[in-house]
Amino acid sequence: MVHNLSNQPSLFSRFLSEIRDLEIQKDPIRFRKNMERMSEIMAYEISKTLNYTKREVTTPLGIAEVDELIEQPVLATILRAGLAMHNGMLNYFDRAESAFVSAYRKHTSHEDFEIHVEYLASPKLDKRIVIISDPMLATGNSMVMVYKALLRQGTPSKIIIASAIATPDALEFVKRHLPETTEFWVGAIDKELTAQSYIVPGLGDAGDLAYGEKC
């Protein structure tokens, strides 16, 4: 199932427009904050789909019945571009454990590249709900490689993917390689990719915009 938050106008649209805006992008802290706020909205929407139980809390005037998550998800992200989104997820799922995976493009030519995964830090994932955040789902190759790397720590009960911008091809590619129960939460779906596999209109390189250009 794909949930596209652009299908309904909301404040989310403003944050999305600002991370795309060439002039506003010149302010890295604003770019990171908008990514974080978008991720917070996604976390809130995702939380509505999870399972809860009732418990009682004591107030100064009596007893109140409240809903409480049965299971905290594991929040995974792809270094380094996903860090701002990860912070947004942590702001809402503030009791969750975290997983970090390093994945990058190793170019063999101007247009051709391979995805390399070099670093993994994760709790055990057997029968856990795992939310993977990554700003750009361009081809889907990185997401599939990261999922396979996470399987070293066990098989999750459910995978949820959160991305600011995705492409139809990437969504279909990931669907073919991840469990059929995988859910996608995206800010927008852009249809075009450049020869270098950058999303158009997209927003550019999310990692560079958030943390500076890499050598």
Instruction: Please name every residue paired with 158 in a beta bridge, in sequence order, or none if there are none.
Output: 129
Q: CA-CA distance, 126 to 186, in Å (whole number)?
A: 25
Mode of pairing for the β-strands spanning 97-107 and 113-121: antiparallel
pLDDT score of 106? 57
Helix (H) or strand (E) holding 115: strand 113-121
> What pLDDT, in 10s, does the model give residues 170-181?
999 999 999 999
* DSSP per-residue codes, 54-94: EEEEEETTEEEEEEEESSPPEEEEEETTTHHHHHHHHHHST
Give the tokens for residue 202: 């997209």
- Residues 10, 61: contact at Cβ < 8 Å? no
Distance from C-alpha of 117 to C-alpha of 104, rounded to nearest angstrom: 7
The list of the chain residues with pLDDT below 50 reads: 107, 109-113
Q: Which pTM value belongs to this model?
A: 0.91
- Neighbour-count burial for 124-150, b at 16+ CB within 10 Å, e otherwise: ebeebbbbbbbbbbbbbbbbbbbbebb
Q: What tokens appear for 155 in the block?
A: 């098989």
**Of 42, 51, 31, 35, residue with least CA distance to 75:** 42
H or E element, residue 168: helix 168-177
pLDDT digits (tens, 9 = 90+) for 109-148: 444 445 577 789 999 999 999 999 999 999 998 899 899 9
The domains found in the chain, sorted by start residue, are 2-211 (3.40.50.2020)
Whether 74 contacts 96, CB under 8 Å = yes
DSSP-derived letter for residue 214 is -
